[in-house]
Structures are given as structure tokens and as C-alpha cells.
Amino acid sequence: GDLKDRGITMNDGNKIPILGFGTYSPDAVPKSKCEEATKTAIEVGFRHIDGAYVYQTEEHVGRAVRAKISDGTVKREDIFYTGKLWSTFHRPELVRKCLEESLKKLQFDYMDLFIIHNPFSMKPGPDLFPMGEDKKPVFDNVDLRQTWEAMEACKDAGLVRSIGVSNFTRKQLEMILNKPGLKYKPVINQVECHPYRNQSKLLAFCKSNDIILEGYCVLGSQRDPSWLNPDAPPLLEDPLLVAIAKKYNKTPALVAIRYQLQRGLVVLVKTYTRKRIEENAQVNQYI
């Protein structure tokens, strides 16, 4: 099938394309690269674009999407854009402000999906990562059930079609699902997911509650030396994965993506290299 048509219907009736293009870039990469990469992704068939307030690339993503709309490649309704509520905006009165700031940067009227980026809250203010004198992050004490009610209000206001969460544990999901007066269930929980961290328990829990598990880092985690053991083998060099890839004459990356799709996940891939964007788009031919 074609990327454009392969969607899963979420618990609110809206459809999400099963393969998404991630727009997070490490600080070392110029943000302008994001615009080129997003255009390429749309050209090779990606229709689902995953962004976030904190990535600080939404202006570039918006520019790329609008360029592809004006040249006739897509219409706005062909694109599924996900944005994320940053942790400094968890107070219920700030939720809509974060969403509106993102929409303004994107120059969109609405977002397809808006999710709570992390289950922890941080001190509101201009700093994305507020630090105290002790050089430690300054957290905020917010009841995420109230944050969720503000998310529901954004959906009711038509600013976003679907709402969900990210990096939530089963317990945190249960807190929302068991909330008195819940109006909308989260449609999705976006988490790190790859064969070295396959999230099978969380996946089973989400499936039983009709919540889609969406995986990022499906090709292994970002190899950031500050929190990953540099001696751990990169997933894409894993002997089993390499052997399966050889057997089917595919790349290890395609095998890793296909593994998640077969488990019913929505998958995000992140790369800014044209060759790899094209390669990741090929996964459709094998779905």
C-alpha cells in the first residue's frame, strides 16, 4: 500500500497515518535543515509529520508544508501534523496558549493531534528548561487531570482534532482514564520503542484500552553519550537484525520499522539525509 492511504482509526474516529516523519533535530544541526528534510519527506510520500513546541522547528516545518501545498503536491487536509504541549505549560490556564503559539509558528488553523509531551511539569516562564541555583531543573506541581481537561477544551474549540499523551506509564494513563467526568480518552501514547525496549506490557495495556502506541527511536535510541553506554551495540548493527535483513534483502532499518508496524504501532522515523528519508518511505511497499 501507499503511505498516504495507510492509516489507523483512533478511538475518536480520526485516522492517523501509520508512518510519521519526526522533526526533532539535535542542537548541532541547523534548524533550516528541518525545512528541506520536511519537504523531501512530503515529496517521497510522508503525510504524517511529528513536531513539538520544544523542538523550536515549527516555523520551518510550517514553511515546508505550505510550500508543498502551494506547489500542488498536497492539500492541508492530506497532512497529519502532531504538536506537543511542553512541560512549562501544564497549568490548565497555559495549555491553550502553548497550542496557539505553535499554530501561529506553523501558520495552521488547527493541529491534527496535540499531545502532552512529558508526564512531568516544569516551572512556567520563558525558559524551556528552567534551572535553579543548584543547576537542577525546577519542577512544578500540576495535577495532570486538570491539564487533560484543558486539552479537551482545545479539542472542543476546534483548535485540534485529536488529543493524546507521550512518555506516560500505565499508572499515569490510568489516572487520566479513571478521571471522573472524562470527556475524551487519549488517542495515543507516544513512547520510545525498539527491539531493545519493546514496551510489550504497555502495548498490551494500550490495546486493551483502545489507545494506540506510537513509537519513536524505533531504530534504537539517540546515541547520546550523556545517558547511553557508548559500548552498547547500535541496534542497526545487531547480528539478528542484520541477519534478517540479509535474508530478505532489505536494510536493518526497514526490518526494525516493519517489526513495529506488525505489532500495531504507529512508527516515527527521524533522519535528515535524503537517501535515508527515501529508504524509510519504502517500508510501505512491504506493509
Residue numbering of the annotated binding site for substrate: 117
Query: What single string gives the DSSP state of each residue in 222-233?
Result: ---TTTS-TTSP
CB atoms within 10 A of CB 162: 23
d(CA 168, CA 209) in angstroms, rounded, equals 14
d(CA 259, CA 239) in angstroms, rounded, equals 16
d(CA 45, CA 278) in angstroms, rounded, equals 9
* SS3 assignment, position 11: coil
- With contact defined as beta carbons under 8 Å apart, do 158 and 108 qualify? no
d(CA 92, CA 72) in angstroms, rounded, equals 39
Backbone phi and psi for residue 160, each to the nearest 5 degrees, phi listed first: -145, 145
Nearest to 21 by CA among 195, 198, 211, 280: 280
Backbone phi and psi for residue 82, each to the nearest 5 degrees, phi listed first: -105, 130
Residues with active-site annotation: 55
Amino acid identity at 2? D
Which residues sit in the known binding site? 117
Amino acid identity at 224? D
Cα R_g (the chain), whole angstroms: 19
d(CA 88, CA 9) in angstroms, rounded, equals 31
Sign, CA torsion 163/45/101/192: positive
